[in-house]
Structure 1
């Protein structure tokens, strides 16, 4: 695997990347939240583990909305470092908080600076070439981003394999989760037509890494 871009300065905030755990969980560079051994922050590990278990049997997971009040309270608790029992939380709420966490990552999980690379890879004609190109772009991600991406794709694949109970196949999951993973620079300045195209492409991104 090529050297991680975490050493190349992609979307690094001064004084944060590689500095260990951060007080707040949301809105921080992922590298700043990971442990010195490169592991994902504990709340995210626990959340992913619960969704791995409960997601396949939860109808509409990642699609159905959770209570706005519950979502706000859980986010505030996690941001203040509270000891939250993830296993006691509804799966729909955990799915919603995971999407909110993904949206809050500065420069997004797939890194805004790599937006054109991702889009170019998606344009490849054959499935084999597309997968090869997507893997090549993935290797440019900071180590922490790549780790979470792999865990997330594993979770979504697991849920998609149980579409009979989750009612969420791969296409549905891509539509619900994909737009949280990547956006171009200055996305807020794009016209509506361009934003719709960006969302469509991001939702269709389902590589195997």
Structure 2
């Protein structure tokens, strides 16, 4: 089964291939895509991911790069990224421009990801769920905690669940390697 990102990339590749054949006679289209999905900052996650109901490709690539490289670096989410590069990367993401993520350090990528998450209007969980999570921490019974956490996580939109899986996986990889 193909993931939605893989399906979108395959579709755009196929569409690009047919445009390329057609453009051989018209020479107006480029042989590669020049735009990606836009990653808007400061709007709800469901709106950012609304078109395909999945995490936008550029955001996914950033998280995957962190998952791959951050475990071997120190203080990735503490050290600040390069300010000019952060500004440039945010601009590219918001405008849907193609980005070569290899041109950016993991510190810059982590800072941009933190900025994206910080600017979500009601956070990742929402105010009610977040306050409930803090209440659960105080509970003594581990089984009750686990069941309530499960209930909260499964009540989140699927896109938010996907984002949390990626983030928790990255955090776990970093924690195990330190």
Report TM bin, short chain: 0.7 to 0.9
Partner secondary structure for residue 62 of structure 1: coil
Gaps of 5+ in 2: 1-35
Candidates 107, 119, 124, aligned match of 2:122: 107
Which 4+ stretches in 1 moved above 6 angstroms?
none
Higher helix share: 2
Q: Higher Cα Rg: structure 1 or 2?
A: 2
- Give CA deviations for 1:144-165 in whole Å, capped at 9, x if unaligned: 11211111111101111101xx
Partner secondary structure for residue 109 of structure 2: helix
Q: Would you say how many aligned residue pairs link Structure 1 and Structure 2? A: 143
The whole-number CA distance in structure 1 between the counterparts of 2:92 and 2:53 is 24
Gaps of 5+ in 1: 1-20, 164-209
The RMSD of aligned alpha carbons is 2.0
Which shows bigger deviation, 75-84 or 128-137? 128-137
Cα offset, 1:74, TM superposition: 1.4
What TM-score do the two structures reach when normalised by structure 2?
Answer: 0.73
**Residue of structure 1 in register with 2:144 after alignment:** 129
**Residue of structure 2 in register with 1:151 after alignment:** 166
What TM-score do the two structures reach when normalised by structure 1?
Answer: 0.63
The whole-number CA distance in structure 2 between the counterparts of 1:79 and 1:136 is 33
Cα offset, 1:23, TM superposition: 4.7
